[in-house]
Structure 1
Amino acid sequence: MKGLLGIFVVLGLAAGFAGSARADSATDCFSEDIERRIEGCTALIERRDESLADLSLAYAMRALAYSLKGHYDTAIRDYDAAIAMRPDFAVALNNRAWAYFRWGRASTGLADVEKSLQLSPASPHALDTRAHIRQALGDPQGALNDYDKAMWHGGARMIKLYQCGLTEARLYTGE
Protein backbone atom coordinates (compact mmCIF):
# COMPACT_ATOMS: atom_id res chain seq x y z
CA MET A 1 0.00 0.00 0.00
CA LYS A 2 2.84 2.39 0.85
CA GLY A 3 4.43 1.67 -2.54
CA LEU A 4 1.20 2.48 -4.35
CA LEU A 5 0.78 5.67 -2.34
CA GLY A 6 4.36 6.62 -3.20
CA ILE A 7 3.67 6.14 -6.90
CA PHE A 8 0.59 8.36 -6.70
CA VAL A 9 2.56 11.03 -4.84
CA VAL A 10 5.33 10.94 -7.46
CA LEU A 11 2.80 11.03 -10.31
CA GLY A 12 0.93 13.86 -8.62
CA LEU A 13 4.11 15.85 -8.15
CA ALA A 14 5.12 15.24 -11.76
CA ALA A 15 1.71 16.36 -13.01
CA GLY A 16 1.86 19.41 -10.76
CA PHE A 17 5.33 20.24 -12.01
CA ALA A 18 4.23 19.91 -15.64
CA GLY A 19 1.22 22.12 -14.96
CA SER A 20 3.41 24.56 -13.10
CA ALA A 21 5.92 24.63 -15.96
CA ARG A 22 3.10 25.34 -18.41
CA ALA A 23 1.78 28.12 -16.18
CA ASP A 24 5.27 29.59 -15.83
CA SER A 25 5.77 29.48 -19.60
CA ALA A 26 2.42 31.15 -20.17
CA THR A 27 3.24 33.84 -17.63
CA ASP A 28 6.67 34.36 -19.16
CA CYS A 29 5.16 34.55 -22.65
CA PHE A 30 3.36 37.73 -21.52
CA SER A 31 6.28 39.11 -19.55
CA GLU A 32 7.47 42.67 -20.02
CA ASP A 33 11.00 41.25 -20.01
CA ILE A 34 11.75 40.52 -23.66
CA GLU A 35 14.07 37.58 -23.06
CA ARG A 36 11.62 35.94 -20.65
CA ARG A 37 8.87 36.48 -23.18
CA ILE A 38 10.86 34.79 -25.92
CA GLU A 39 11.74 31.86 -23.66
CA GLY A 40 8.20 31.45 -22.35
CA CYS A 41 6.57 31.65 -25.75
CA THR A 42 9.15 29.31 -27.24
CA ALA A 43 8.40 26.76 -24.52
CA LEU A 44 4.68 26.97 -25.30
CA ILE A 45 5.30 26.69 -29.03
CA GLU A 46 7.62 23.72 -28.68
CA ARG A 47 5.18 21.92 -26.40
CA ARG A 48 2.64 21.90 -29.25
CA ASP A 49 -0.19 20.90 -26.94
CA GLU A 50 -1.86 24.30 -26.91
CA SER A 51 -5.03 25.12 -28.81
CA LEU A 52 -4.54 26.65 -32.24
CA ALA A 53 -5.66 30.04 -30.91
CA ASP A 54 -3.22 29.86 -27.98
CA LEU A 55 -0.40 28.68 -30.21
CA SER A 56 -1.09 31.54 -32.61
CA LEU A 57 -1.00 33.97 -29.69
CA ALA A 58 2.30 32.52 -28.46
CA TYR A 59 3.82 33.05 -31.91
CA ALA A 60 2.47 36.60 -32.02
CA MET A 61 3.79 37.44 -28.56
CA ARG A 62 7.21 36.04 -29.39
CA ALA A 63 7.15 37.97 -32.67
CA LEU A 64 6.44 41.16 -30.76
CA ALA A 65 9.43 40.50 -28.52
CA TYR A 66 11.69 39.93 -31.52
CA SER A 67 10.32 43.08 -33.13
CA LEU A 68 11.08 45.08 -29.99
CA LYS A 69 14.65 43.78 -30.19
CA GLY A 70 14.87 44.94 -33.80
CA HIS A 71 14.99 41.37 -35.16
CA TYR A 72 12.34 42.05 -37.76
CA ASP A 73 13.08 39.10 -40.03
CA THR A 74 12.59 36.68 -37.13
CA ALA A 75 9.53 38.58 -35.93
CA ILE A 76 7.93 38.43 -39.36
CA ARG A 77 8.46 34.65 -39.55
CA ASP A 78 6.63 34.29 -36.24
CA TYR A 79 3.86 36.64 -37.36
CA ASP A 80 3.57 34.54 -40.52
CA ALA A 81 3.03 31.45 -38.37
CA ALA A 82 0.50 33.22 -36.13
CA ILE A 83 -1.47 34.54 -39.09
CA ALA A 84 -1.37 31.19 -40.90
CA MET A 85 -3.14 29.70 -37.88
CA ARG A 86 -5.55 32.62 -37.49
CA PRO A 87 -5.92 34.60 -40.73
CA ASP A 88 -8.33 36.99 -38.99
CA PHE A 89 -5.85 37.89 -36.22
CA ALA A 90 -6.09 41.67 -36.64
CA VAL A 91 -3.46 42.52 -34.02
CA ALA A 92 -0.90 40.16 -35.55
CA LEU A 93 -1.60 41.58 -39.00
CA ASN A 94 -1.09 45.11 -37.71
CA ASN A 95 2.05 44.17 -35.82
CA ARG A 96 3.51 42.41 -38.86
CA ALA A 97 2.80 45.57 -40.88
CA TRP A 98 4.60 47.60 -38.20
CA ALA A 99 7.57 45.20 -38.28
CA TYR A 100 7.78 45.60 -42.05
CA PHE A 101 7.63 49.38 -41.64
CA ARG A 102 10.39 49.38 -39.02
CA TRP A 103 12.45 47.05 -41.21
CA GLY A 104 12.31 49.62 -44.02
CA ARG A 105 9.73 47.72 -46.07
CA ALA A 106 6.70 49.92 -45.56
CA SER A 107 5.03 49.02 -48.84
CA THR A 108 5.13 45.32 -47.93
CA GLY A 109 3.23 46.01 -44.72
CA LEU A 110 0.46 48.04 -46.31
CA ALA A 111 -1.70 45.05 -47.27
CA ASP A 112 -1.45 43.67 -43.72
CA VAL A 113 -2.56 46.89 -42.06
CA GLU A 114 -5.37 47.29 -44.58
CA LYS A 115 -6.65 43.81 -43.72
CA SER A 116 -6.23 44.56 -40.02
CA LEU A 117 -8.39 47.65 -40.44
CA GLN A 118 -11.02 45.65 -42.35
CA LEU A 119 -11.23 43.35 -39.33
CA SER A 120 -11.00 46.11 -36.73
CA PRO A 121 -11.84 49.46 -38.35
CA ALA A 122 -11.60 51.53 -35.17
CA SER A 123 -8.20 50.24 -34.04
CA PRO A 124 -6.12 53.30 -33.16
CA HIS A 125 -2.96 51.21 -33.37
CA ALA A 126 -3.70 50.00 -36.89
CA LEU A 127 -4.65 53.52 -37.94
CA ASP A 128 -1.36 54.74 -36.50
CA THR A 129 0.55 52.02 -38.34
CA ARG A 130 -1.14 52.89 -41.62
CA ALA A 131 -0.41 56.58 -41.01
CA HIS A 132 3.29 55.82 -40.59
CA ILE A 133 3.29 53.65 -43.70
CA ARG A 134 1.43 56.27 -45.74
CA GLN A 135 3.86 58.91 -44.57
CA ALA A 136 6.82 56.72 -45.55
CA LEU A 137 5.25 56.09 -48.96
CA GLY A 138 4.85 59.82 -49.65
CA ASP A 139 1.15 60.24 -48.84
CA PRO A 140 1.18 62.97 -46.16
CA GLN A 141 -2.53 63.77 -46.49
CA GLY A 142 -3.50 60.12 -46.06
CA ALA A 143 -1.13 59.93 -43.10
CA LEU A 144 -2.66 63.00 -41.46
CA ASN A 145 -6.15 61.58 -41.96
CA ASP A 146 -5.11 58.34 -40.28
CA TYR A 147 -3.34 60.12 -37.42
CA ASP A 148 -6.52 62.14 -36.88
CA LYS A 149 -8.65 58.96 -36.84
CA ALA A 150 -6.17 57.27 -34.50
CA MET A 151 -6.52 60.14 -32.04
CA TRP A 152 -10.30 60.10 -32.41
CA HIS A 153 -10.56 56.38 -31.70
CA GLY A 154 -7.65 56.17 -29.27
CA GLY A 155 -8.68 59.08 -27.12
CA ALA A 156 -6.47 60.85 -24.64
CA ARG A 157 -3.84 58.10 -24.62
CA MET A 158 -3.15 58.44 -28.35
CA ILE A 159 -3.22 62.22 -28.17
CA LYS A 160 -0.67 62.14 -25.34
CA LEU A 161 1.47 59.72 -27.33
CA TYR A 162 1.49 62.07 -30.31
CA GLN A 163 2.18 65.08 -28.10
CA CYS A 164 5.20 63.29 -26.65
CA GLY A 165 6.49 62.54 -30.13
CA LEU A 166 5.91 66.10 -31.29
CA THR A 167 7.57 67.47 -28.17
CA GLU A 168 10.58 65.22 -28.77
CA ALA A 169 10.79 66.56 -32.33
CA ARG A 170 10.42 70.09 -30.91
CA LEU A 171 7.23 70.63 -32.90
CA TYR A 172 4.93 70.95 -29.88
CA THR A 173 5.42 73.14 -26.83
CA GLY A 174 2.27 72.22 -24.93
CA GLU A 175 0.45 75.42 -25.78
Structure 2
Amino acid sequence: MPGIALSKPFVAGVAVRDGNDPNWVQNQLNRCLSKTLEVSQSMTSCSALINTPQVRGQQLAAAFRQRGFLQREKDPDRAIADYDNALKAWPDSADALTGRAWVLMTSRNYEAALQDLSRAIELSPTMATARYYRGYAYLRTRKYPQALTDLNEAIKLDPGNADYYLARGEVWQTLENYEAALHDFEEASKLAPEDVGGLISSGAVFEAMGKPREALAALERAVSLAPKDKDAVSERDRLRSEVSGAASAGSAR
Protein backbone atom coordinates (compact mmCIF):
# COMPACT_ATOMS: atom_id res chain seq x y z
CA MET A 1 0.00 0.00 0.00
CA PRO A 2 1.42 3.47 -0.84
CA GLY A 3 2.93 5.29 2.10
CA ILE A 4 3.33 2.18 4.26
CA ALA A 5 6.87 1.18 5.12
CA LEU A 6 6.72 -2.59 5.39
CA SER A 7 8.92 -3.86 8.20
CA LYS A 8 11.11 -6.93 8.30
CA PRO A 9 9.78 -9.85 10.36
CA PHE A 10 10.91 -9.95 13.98
CA VAL A 11 13.54 -12.49 14.99
CA ALA A 12 10.97 -14.29 17.13
CA GLY A 13 10.00 -16.23 14.02
CA VAL A 14 7.89 -16.05 10.91
CA ALA A 15 4.27 -17.17 10.71
CA VAL A 16 4.30 -18.77 7.27
CA ARG A 17 1.09 -18.31 5.33
CA ASP A 18 -0.81 -21.51 4.64
CA GLY A 19 -2.23 -21.21 1.16
CA ASN A 20 -4.82 -23.86 1.95
CA ASP A 21 -6.18 -22.00 4.97
CA PRO A 22 -8.74 -19.33 3.99
CA ASN A 23 -8.86 -18.15 7.60
CA TRP A 24 -5.11 -17.51 7.91
CA VAL A 25 -5.40 -13.72 8.10
CA GLN A 26 -8.10 -13.79 10.78
CA ASN A 27 -6.23 -16.43 12.77
CA GLN A 28 -3.04 -14.37 12.71
CA LEU A 29 -4.99 -11.25 13.66
CA ASN A 30 -6.48 -13.09 16.63
CA ARG A 31 -2.98 -14.14 17.70
CA CYS A 32 -1.63 -10.63 17.17
CA LEU A 33 -4.34 -9.17 19.42
CA SER A 34 -4.28 -11.99 21.96
CA LYS A 35 -3.94 -11.16 25.65
CA THR A 36 -2.93 -14.71 26.58
CA LEU A 37 -0.07 -15.52 24.20
CA GLU A 38 3.53 -14.64 24.98
CA VAL A 39 4.57 -11.26 23.61
CA SER A 40 7.01 -12.82 21.15
CA GLN A 41 4.26 -15.00 19.69
CA SER A 42 1.88 -12.07 19.27
CA MET A 43 4.66 -9.98 17.74
CA THR A 44 5.38 -12.72 15.21
CA SER A 45 1.76 -12.81 14.07
CA CYS A 46 1.54 -9.00 13.91
CA SER A 47 4.70 -8.90 11.77
CA ALA A 48 3.42 -11.69 9.52
CA LEU A 49 0.31 -9.64 8.77
CA ILE A 50 2.33 -6.48 8.22
CA ASN A 51 4.53 -8.25 5.68
CA THR A 52 1.59 -9.76 3.78
CA PRO A 53 0.77 -7.44 0.83
CA GLN A 54 -2.86 -8.52 0.72
CA VAL A 55 -3.48 -7.23 4.25
CA ARG A 56 -4.71 -3.65 4.03
CA GLY A 57 -6.85 -1.01 5.68
CA GLN A 58 -8.20 -1.67 9.15
CA GLN A 59 -6.56 -5.09 9.46
CA LEU A 60 -3.15 -3.69 8.58
CA ALA A 61 -3.72 -0.76 10.96
CA ALA A 62 -4.67 -3.18 13.74
CA ALA A 63 -1.47 -5.20 13.24
CA PHE A 64 0.74 -2.10 13.30
CA ARG A 65 -1.14 -0.65 16.27
CA GLN A 66 -0.86 -3.80 18.33
CA ARG A 67 2.81 -4.28 17.54
CA GLY A 68 3.39 -0.68 18.58
CA PHE A 69 1.58 -1.35 21.84
CA LEU A 70 3.59 -4.50 22.55
CA GLN A 71 6.93 -2.71 22.20
CA ARG A 72 6.07 0.79 23.42
CA GLU A 73 7.93 0.43 26.71
CA LYS A 74 11.08 -1.35 25.50
CA ASP A 75 11.42 0.33 22.10
CA PRO A 76 9.42 3.57 22.00
CA ASP A 77 10.97 4.77 18.74
CA ARG A 78 9.90 1.64 16.90
CA ALA A 79 6.50 1.85 18.57
CA ILE A 80 6.06 5.38 17.21
CA ALA A 81 6.97 4.14 13.72
CA ASP A 82 4.35 1.41 13.99
CA TYR A 83 1.69 3.82 15.20
CA ASP A 84 2.59 6.15 12.32
CA ASN A 85 2.11 3.31 9.86
CA ALA A 86 -1.16 2.29 11.51
CA LEU A 87 -2.46 5.80 10.90
CA LYS A 88 -1.28 5.74 7.29
CA ALA A 89 -3.24 2.53 6.80
CA TRP A 90 -6.30 3.84 8.67
CA PRO A 91 -6.18 7.58 9.52
CA ASP A 92 -9.32 7.41 11.69
CA SER A 93 -7.90 4.94 14.22
CA ALA A 94 -8.58 6.49 17.62
CA ASP A 95 -6.71 3.60 19.24
CA ALA A 96 -3.55 4.29 17.23
CA LEU A 97 -3.73 8.01 18.02
CA THR A 98 -4.14 7.25 21.72
CA GLY A 99 -1.30 4.73 21.69
CA ARG A 100 1.04 7.15 19.95
CA ALA A 101 0.09 9.86 22.44
CA TRP A 102 1.09 7.58 25.33
CA VAL A 103 4.57 7.16 23.87
CA LEU A 104 4.85 10.89 23.22
CA MET A 105 3.95 11.63 26.83
CA THR A 106 6.67 9.31 28.12
CA SER A 107 9.16 11.62 26.37
CA ARG A 108 7.30 14.68 27.75
CA ASN A 109 6.16 15.76 24.30
CA TYR A 110 2.82 16.81 25.68
CA GLU A 111 1.85 19.26 22.96
CA ALA A 112 2.11 16.61 20.23
CA ALA A 113 0.28 14.16 22.49
CA LEU A 114 -2.54 16.66 23.00
CA GLN A 115 -3.01 16.96 19.24
CA ASP A 116 -3.33 13.19 18.88
CA LEU A 117 -5.65 12.89 21.85
CA SER A 118 -7.95 15.69 20.73
CA ARG A 119 -8.28 13.98 17.35
CA ALA A 120 -8.91 10.62 19.05
CA ILE A 121 -11.67 12.13 21.18
CA GLU A 122 -13.26 13.67 18.09
CA LEU A 123 -13.33 10.20 16.55
CA SER A 124 -14.39 8.40 19.74
CA PRO A 125 -15.95 10.78 22.31
CA THR A 126 -16.69 7.97 24.80
CA MET A 127 -13.13 6.59 24.84
CA ALA A 128 -12.24 6.89 28.53
CA THR A 129 -8.53 6.18 28.01
CA ALA A 130 -8.14 9.09 25.60
CA ARG A 131 -9.93 11.40 28.06
CA TYR A 132 -7.64 10.23 30.85
CA TYR A 133 -4.46 10.68 28.81
CA ARG A 134 -5.52 14.14 27.67
CA GLY A 135 -6.41 15.10 31.22
CA TYR A 136 -2.99 13.93 32.33
CA ALA A 137 -1.29 15.87 29.52
CA TYR A 138 -3.24 18.99 30.52
CA LEU A 139 -2.11 18.44 34.12
CA ARG A 140 1.53 18.28 33.07
CA THR A 141 1.15 21.44 30.98
CA ARG A 142 -0.56 23.22 33.91
CA LYS A 143 -3.91 23.59 32.19
CA TYR A 144 -5.83 22.60 35.27
CA PRO A 145 -9.43 23.47 34.31
CA GLN A 146 -9.07 21.45 31.10
CA ALA A 147 -7.46 18.61 33.06
CA LEU A 148 -10.40 18.48 35.47
CA THR A 149 -12.92 18.49 32.63
CA ASP A 150 -11.29 15.52 30.94
CA LEU A 151 -10.63 13.56 34.12
CA ASN A 152 -14.20 14.10 35.29
CA GLU A 153 -15.40 12.71 31.97
CA ALA A 154 -12.97 9.77 32.13
CA ILE A 155 -14.28 8.85 35.60
CA LYS A 156 -17.85 9.20 34.40
CA LEU A 157 -17.11 6.81 31.52
CA ASP A 158 -15.08 4.34 33.59
CA PRO A 159 -15.63 4.88 37.34
CA GLY A 160 -13.70 1.77 38.31
CA ASN A 161 -10.25 2.87 37.17
CA ALA A 162 -8.00 3.89 40.06
CA ASP A 163 -5.53 5.73 37.81
CA TYR A 164 -8.16 8.27 36.86
CA TYR A 165 -8.75 9.16 40.51
CA LEU A 166 -5.02 9.42 41.17
CA ALA A 167 -4.63 11.88 38.31
CA ARG A 168 -7.61 13.98 39.36
CA GLY A 169 -6.40 13.91 42.95
CA GLU A 170 -3.09 15.33 41.78
CA VAL A 171 -4.92 18.18 40.06
CA TRP A 172 -6.87 18.94 43.25
CA GLN A 173 -3.66 18.73 45.27
CA THR A 174 -1.94 21.20 42.95
CA LEU A 175 -4.91 23.56 43.28
CA GLU A 176 -4.72 23.11 47.09
CA ASN A 177 -8.22 21.68 47.28
CA TYR A 178 -6.98 19.16 49.81
CA GLU A 179 -10.29 17.66 50.82
CA ALA A 180 -11.13 16.82 47.21
CA ALA A 181 -7.62 15.43 46.72
CA LEU A 182 -7.93 13.19 49.77
CA HIS A 183 -11.28 11.92 48.54
CA ASP A 184 -9.83 10.92 45.18
CA PHE A 185 -6.71 9.32 46.66
CA GLU A 186 -8.88 7.33 49.07
CA GLU A 187 -11.08 6.19 46.20
CA ALA A 188 -8.01 5.13 44.24
CA SER A 189 -6.81 3.09 47.21
CA LYS A 190 -10.17 1.35 47.47
CA LEU A 191 -10.21 0.47 43.79
CA ALA A 192 -6.59 -0.73 43.71
CA PRO A 193 -5.58 -1.71 47.26
CA GLU A 194 -2.34 -3.27 46.00
CA ASP A 195 -1.21 0.13 44.63
CA VAL A 196 0.09 2.34 47.44
CA GLY A 197 0.24 5.48 45.27
CA GLY A 198 -2.96 6.82 46.77
CA LEU A 199 -1.66 6.37 50.32
CA ILE A 200 1.66 8.05 49.53
CA SER A 201 -0.19 10.95 47.92
CA SER A 202 -2.55 11.16 50.89
CA GLY A 203 0.48 11.43 53.15
CA ALA A 204 1.75 14.38 51.12
CA VAL A 205 -1.63 16.10 51.32
CA PHE A 206 -1.96 15.58 55.08
CA GLU A 207 1.53 17.00 55.52
CA ALA A 208 0.64 20.05 53.41
CA MET A 209 -2.42 20.50 55.64
CA GLY A 210 -0.18 20.57 58.73
CA LYS A 211 -1.27 17.12 59.91
CA PRO A 212 1.98 15.16 60.18
CA ARG A 213 0.54 12.36 62.32
CA GLU A 214 -2.22 11.64 59.82
CA ALA A 215 0.41 11.78 57.08
CA LEU A 216 2.58 9.30 58.95
CA ALA A 217 -0.36 6.97 59.49
CA ALA A 218 -1.04 6.92 55.73
CA LEU A 219 2.61 6.19 54.99
CA GLU A 220 2.76 3.45 57.62
CA ARG A 221 -0.18 1.79 55.88
CA ALA A 222 1.59 2.13 52.56
CA VAL A 223 4.74 0.45 53.88
CA SER A 224 2.75 -2.35 55.51
CA LEU A 225 1.14 -3.08 52.14
CA ALA A 226 4.31 -2.64 50.07
CA PRO A 227 7.39 -2.99 52.30
CA LYS A 228 9.72 -2.87 49.28
CA ASP A 229 8.31 0.35 47.84
CA LYS A 230 11.24 2.77 48.06
CA ASP A 231 9.10 5.91 47.92
CA ALA A 232 6.82 4.72 50.70
CA VAL A 233 9.72 3.65 52.92
CA SER A 234 11.79 6.79 52.41
CA GLU A 235 8.84 9.12 53.03
CA ARG A 236 7.76 7.11 56.07
CA ASP A 237 11.26 7.19 57.54
CA ARG A 238 11.67 10.91 56.89
CA LEU A 239 8.36 11.76 58.50
CA ARG A 240 8.98 9.42 61.41
CA SER A 241 12.18 11.30 62.13
CA GLU A 242 10.50 14.69 61.87
CA VAL A 243 7.55 13.71 64.07
CA SER A 244 9.86 12.15 66.63
CA GLY A 245 12.11 15.22 66.61
CA ALA A 246 9.16 17.55 67.08
CA ALA A 247 7.87 15.45 69.97
CA SER A 248 11.29 15.45 71.66
CA ALA A 249 11.59 19.21 71.26
CA GLY A 250 8.15 19.71 72.75
CA SER A 251 8.86 17.52 75.80
CA ALA A 252 12.14 19.33 76.44
CA ARG A 253 10.42 22.66 76.90
Q: Same fold (TM over 0.5)?
A: yes
Q: Within 2, Cα distance between the matches of 1:53 and 1:24? A: 15
Closer/same/farther in 2, CA of residues 108 and 45 from structure 1, 3 Å limit: same
Counterpart in 1 of 2:91? 87
Aligned residue type for 1:123: M
How many residue pairs get aligned? The number is 157
1:67-146 aligned at under 5 Å gives the runs: 67=72, 69-146=73-150
Q: Secondary structure at the match of 1:47?
A: coil
Counterpart in 2 of 1:30? 33
Q: Within 1, Cα distance between the matches of 2:138 and 2:162? A: 19
Report which structure shows greater RCO (CA 8 Å, sep ≥6). Answer: 1
Q: Which has the larger radius of gyration?
A: 2
Q: Within 2, Cα distance between the matches of 1:150 and 1:57? A: 24
Q: Within 2, Cα distance between the matches of 1:54 and 1:15? A: 19
Closer/same/farther in 2, CA of residues 160 and 129 from structure 1, 3 Å limit: closer
Q: TM-score normalised to the size of structure 2?
A: 0.55
Aligned residue type for 1:76: I
Q: Within 1, Cα distance between the matches of 2:163 and 2:120? A: 24
**Higher-helix-fraction structure:** 1
Displacement after TM superposition at 1:147 (Å): 1.2
Q: Identify the match of residue 52 of structure 1 among 57, 73, 76.
A: 57
Q: Would the aligned equivalents of 2:32 and 2:46 in 1 still touch at CA under 8 Å?
A: yes
Q: TM-score normalised to the size of structure 1?
A: 0.77
Closer/same/farther in 2, CA of residues 53 and 161 from structure 1, 3 Å limit: same
Closer/same/farther in 2, CA of residues 169 and 71 from structure 1, 3 Å limit: farther
Q: Would the aligned equivalents of 2:76 and 2:103 in 1 still touch at CA under 8 Å?
A: yes
Q: Within 2, Cα distance between the matches of 1:36 and 1:104? A: 31
5+ long unaligned stretches in structure 1: 1-13
Q: Would the aligned equivalents of 2:129 and 2:154 in 1 still touch at CA under 8 Å?
A: yes
5+ long unaligned stretches in structure 2: 1-17, 166-187, 203-217, 219-253
Q: Within 1, Cα distance between the matches of 2:42 and 2:107? A: 21
Displacement after TM superposition at 1:102 (Å): 1.6
Q: Would the aligned equivalents of 2:28 and 2:45 in 1 still touch at CA under 8 Å?
A: yes
Give structure 1 regions of 4+ aligned residues with deviation exceeding 3 angstroms: 18-24, 159-162, 164-167
Closer/same/farther in 2, CA of residues 123 and 72 from structure 1, 3 Å limit: same
Q: Would the aligned equivalents of 1:151 and 1:159 in 2 still touch at CA under 8 Å?
A: no
Q: Would the aligned equivalents of 2:56 and 2:89 in 1 still touch at CA under 8 Å?
A: no
Q: Would the aligned equivalents of 2:101 and 2:116 in 1 still touch at CA under 8 Å?
A: yes
Aligned residue type for 1:27: N
Displacement after TM superposition at 1:78 (Å): 0.7
Closer/same/farther in 2, CA of residues 24 and 87 from structure 1, 3 Å limit: closer
Q: Would the aligned equivalents of 1:48 and 1:55 in 2 still touch at CA under 8 Å?
A: no
Name whichever of 132-141 and 115-124 sits farther off: 132-141
Aligned-CA RMSD value: 2.4
